[in-house]
Amino acid sequence: MVSDSIEPRVTVADIAAEAGVSRATVSKVLNGRSDVAPATRVQIEAMLVTRGYVPTKRTKRPVVAERRGGLMEMLFNDPSTPWAAEMIRGAEAAARAARVGIVVSALDSGPGRGQQWLEDIADRSPRGIILALSELTAADHTRIAKLGVPAILVDPVGDSETDIPSIGAGNWGGGMAATQHLIDLGHRRIGMITGPMRFLCSQARLAGYRATLERARIVADDGLVEHGDFHYSSGFTLAQALLDRPEPPTAIFAANDEQALGVYAAIQQRGLRVPADLSVVGFDDVPMAQWVTPPLTTVRQPIAELAALAVRTLLVHQDGSEMPEGRVELSTKLVVRGSTAPLAR
């Protein structure tokens, strides 16, 4: 005799236990209540999707769509960077679980900015759009709104008047953690190579650096701060400028890992060693940070998780319910490896 095995139904209690919240909190999310913290709401909604929760008849407004398949769009300024590669990896993993395909596009510049992409997306009728862009112009926003497709921004350039929700990382806290680590090692002349200062993340990382110096009663030297563009060549050139100073830094905090690798090259070109002669800290924790010699101490930004969360948020709101407002922020974490050492006396 053959018996069919039936998988147990996922319950509110199951979701609550996994999320570490009460059953009442899960019920509030299911019923569209507003008195739930945004980060908690997104976490629970993602679990409802991934665990395959099916609402009961008593649920007022299910937040989980039953539709599967289709496409999700990801739009970058430059999809060839290590940051973009991690974003794509995270988005693809989350989309695959829902049997959704990912289409990656690059937004061109110039007078006809994005026109071809907009025409293509209208033809593809995607389930959602992830905007991994450095900046979203008012014209871009208007065009995207006309498509009638739910969209979400990932770490946008700055505070925008757009009503598109966003997901990002704790850049200010990450800047503080990187700087405090170097101070704890005895460093006082700490250089910084920022990202483009029109980017909110660059501003926040620099603010975290300055706040930590002030808290440690270290007088900030503006001559130790160079403004970069997040690329390898920028890290190399600006590290050379810092090392050419009459009193060069004993440590450099680069606002992303790609620039940190440029710092490595500048140090090695002068016959110096990391970390014996100069400590280096990056930001992002892209895979190559572990592969270089010595492995890079860096602030881990949950890049893949940000993209996965963006996908899940869009999938959860396929039933016509409103997208969450404002910004959801994930925490960063300092990862100590071999590129930092106590200041040599």
- Give helix 138-147 / helix 115-124 axis angle, nearest 10°: 20
Compute the distance between CA of residue 205 and CA of residue 7 in angstroms, rounded to an integer.
47
- Note down pLDDT in tens along the chain; length 345 residues: 434 444 567 788 888 888 888 888 888 777 766 677 766 776 777 677 666 676 654 444 444 444 456 888 998 888 888 888 999 998 998 888 888 899 998 876 655 556 677 777 778 888 889 988 766 667 777 777 778 888 888 876 555 556 778 888 899 999 999 999 999 999 999 999 999 998 888 999 999 999 999 999 999 899 999 999 999 999 999 999 999 999 999 999 999 999 999 999 999 999 999 999 999 999 999 999 999 999 999 999 988 888 888 888 888 776 555 666 667 788 899 999 999 999 986
CATH topology of domain 71-168+303-330: Rossmann fold (3.40.50)
Q: From 218, 204, 287, select the one nearest 251 (Cα to Cα).
A: 218
Residue 34, sorted as left (phi over 0), alpha (psi -120 to 50) or beta, turns out to be alpha
Compute the distance between CA of residue 135 and CA of residue 195 in angstroms, rounded to an integer.
14
Parts of the chain belonging to CATH 3.40.50.2300: 71-168+303-330, 171-301
- 3-class DSSP string for 187-224: CCCEEEEECCCCCHHHHHHHHHHHHHHHHCCCCCCHHH
Task: Identify the CATH number of the domain defined by range 171-301.
Answer: 3.40.50.2300
Residues whose CB falls within 8 Å of the CB of residue 84, separated by 6 or more in sequence, listed in order = 76, 78, 132
Compute the distance between CA of residue 58 and CA of residue 41 in angstroms, rounded to an integer.
20
Q: With contact defined as beta carbons under 8 Å apart, do 325 and 153 qualify?
A: no
- Position 32 scores a pLDDT of 63
Q: What are phi and psi of 122, to 5 degrees?
A: -60, -35
- Position 135 scores a pLDDT of 66
